[in-house]
Amino acid sequence: MTERREPPARNDAWPPSAVIYDAETIAARVRALAAEIDAAYEAEDRLLVVGLLKGSFIFLADLVRALSMPVQVDFLVVSSYGDAKVSSGRVRLEYAARSSMEGRNVLLVEDIVDSGTTLEDVVPRLLGLGARSVEICTLLHKRLGGSRHEPRFVGFDAPNAFLVGYGLDHAEDFRQLPYIASL
């Protein structure tokens, strides 16, 4: 006889109820961002799009499918939150992009910009690898200031709350939600 196991307890906040941006609003804004990027890089032969994992993966996938220009995609994995709701202030590079940056225009795709700590580390790193330019596209921007590297392309101004869904997580939970909610 097999032992009957109870399902794991769900996070008390499951599912988040305070929806900030619904799926339809996000989809429309991603299409508009893609049009802005297409216009900005219309003379570009091939744009290198670098996503910051893990949070940007859903946004990046939708964004590159909406672009009309040829792109190459690569990723960086950086961490500054861990399981906390507040950045540690220290950025750890856990996986570096494999594509050559030399002479390339790079579009760095981020899920959310709050303190700007990640950008302060990553942008100089990409420029140091020989990127011709690095522009930032973020789905959400909290506009807390403090970063020398402001995003050129911004999906939404975000409230000063801890947000989850559409790739954003808390301790690896909530990424799969098709909307963005506060936790």
Clarify whether 74 is annotated catalytic: no
Tokens 């402001």 sit on residue: 150
Helices (H), 4-107: 23-40, 57-66
For residues 183 and 18, give the distance between their C-alpha atoms in angstroms, rounded to a whole number. Answer: 8
Write down the number of H helices and E strands in the chain: 3, 9
Beta strand 153-157 with 133-141 is: parallel
Q: From the candidates 22, 38, 62, 114, which is the catalytic residue? A: 114
User: 92: burial class by Cβ within 10 Å (0-12, 13-18, 19+)?
Assistant: exposed
Q: Which residues participate in catalysis according to the annotation?
A: 114
